[in-house]
Amino acid sequence: MKEDLIPLGEKLSRHAQTQPNAPAVSCGEVTLTYAQLDARVNRIARALEHLGVNIGDRVTIGLPNGVEFIQACWALWKLGATPQPVSFRLTNVELQAIVDLADPRLVIALPGMEASRRRVTVEDLLALCDDESPMAARVSPCAKAMTSGGSTGRPKLIVSNFPGVTSADGTERRLLPDDQWRIGAGETMVVPGPLYHGGPFTSSQEGLVKGAHVVLMPRFDAELVLAEIRRRRATWLYLVPTMMNRIWRLPKDVRAQYDISSLKTLWHLAAPCPPWLKEAFIRWLGPDVILECYGGSETQVWTKITGSEWLEHRGSVGRVLGGEIIAVGPDGNELPRGAVGEIYMRGPVGSPPRYTVVGAPPPASLPGGWETLGDIGYFDADGYLYLVDRRADMILVGGANVYPAEVEAAIDEHPLVLSSAVVGLPDEDMGSTVHAIVQARPGLTADTLLVHLEHRLVGYKRPRTFEFVDEPLRDDAGKVRRTRLRDERIARTKLAASQG
């Protein structure tokens, strides 16, 4: 290990020494200072070691947002082990499928989450050991192993090829230059997203590495986010566009109740943000507050754009940082700027692979180290990237391409719409037809939506059929699995036809 790098666990111990009484992590009414967090982490790490967890072992974590999740992760880093987060809402069948892939030493999860590995709770671990004294931190050869279902829903692991280390002096080595995340020891960060997803997980880790105060929310609630910002005088916020939409749909007088003027930074990522929604947040909070980045859990390359830049390049996700991104045509050759193609990316030439995929083939690739996440997009004349949609979700209607994200963005502009998902259903005449699944407030009809879309979308892009549902269409991270929604509806139609 280089002299200027130290284990993540050692970083926590140093914060406990230099700012022992500073708040480290809060959730609800529970707050741990850096000294308290470090002491608790030492105790849990010793208990895990007693249960046989060693350097390099994976440990599956199935916990909701809370201080227990943070304690478990940092205890593993102290031991040199690897956190492998999963949703605490998984069925035992789903959990077992991931355990089969990850082969963890044990599972730290809620009661009832059972698989073919020993399951313990954080309370169990605390009961095993009461020694909170300082302990030497070890280096994990793999900092994290995130779980992803992708568009298929089949689990895979995206295993980091980077060790669990950080810089000794606070200058972190990240894809973004150190100051651009705007996280520092004086910041208070509100993270309402689930920690088993990459964005919230990385944000909370980065905050504690920097000595900030990380405020977790047990679950997302639009009004409670504003209340928590006001209560904590928060300066930093992580959201996904689904969360932004629900906050914006609050009545104006409700939003006006909360003084959120302390907020200096709002990062949004994980899913496309409709331009109308982004513009609304820029008008509300100011362009200097809003930041966006695009990338995948694989972290090959990222883009970044500020609110001010976005106003000059409406709809863009920014310019490339830390590597290269190109648009590629069907022949595999790079396309000129302005031409729509599949987006391929690669890290800096000569850099080692950032990740290893377990349980699925790696992303499609081209010679020279280029990989794709399946997104379609183009670059403008100034080098700003625009995403159109996912290749697998594109709908071909009578030979014309329809991108679901564009249709969903237009639907979601209606004030009664909470969320939407657009899929292509088979059609003998046109090849496919556009079908919209809509979660809405009472009173919205298909005819009303068609009038709403008339001046927003050309005729062939407008849905031919609508389906209204009560349940949310996107998960806690703002993701929607259109392939699954499409397959379910095709199967339902076939079943109805066979019974009729």
> Between 332 and 349, where is the model more confident?
332
Tell me what pLDDT residue 2 has: 58
Please state, in angstroms and rounded to a whole number, the distance separating the CA atoms of residues 492 and 116: 34
35-39, 217-221, 313-317, 478-482: segment of lowest average pLDDT: 478-482
Per residue in 151-180, pLDDT tens? 445 678 888 888 999 988 755 444 444 456
Per domain, the residue ranges of the chain are 5-285, 290-391, 394-499
Q: In 171-310, at which residue ranges do the beta strands (DSSP E only) sit?
A: 188-191, 213-216, 236-239, 265-268, 290-294, 302-306
Please state, in angstroms and rounded to a whole number, the distance separating the CA atoms of residues 267 and 146: 20
Question: 209: number of CA atoms within 13 Å, CB side?
Answer: 27
Tokens of 373: 């996440």
98-102, 171-175, 493-497: segment of lowest average pLDDT: 171-175
- Note the pTM of the prediction, 2 decimals: 0.81
CATH class of 290-391: mainly beta
Please state, in angstroms and rounded to a whole number, the distance separating the CA atoms of residues 429 and 99: 45
Please state, in angstroms and rounded to a whole number, the distance separating the CA atoms of residues 96 and 101: 9
295-304, 396-405, 425-434, 479-488: segment of lowest average pLDDT: 295-304
Per residue in 206-257, pLDDT tens? 999 999 999 999 999 999 999 999 999 999 999 988 889 889 989 999 999 9
Tell me what pLDDT residue 358 has: 84
Q: What architecture (CATH level 2) is domain 5-285?
A: 3-Layer(aba) Sandwich (3.40)
The total number of residues shown for the chain amounts to 500
3-state DSSP assignment of residue 13: helix
370-379/365-366 β-pairing: antiparallel
Contacts of 231 (CB under 8 A, 6+ apart): none
Which DSSP state fits 290? E
CATH of domain 394-499: 3.30.300.30
Report CA 384 to chain centroid distance, whole Å. 22
Task: Indicate left, alpha or beta for 287 from its phi (over 0: left) and psi (-120 to 50: alpha).
Answer: alpha
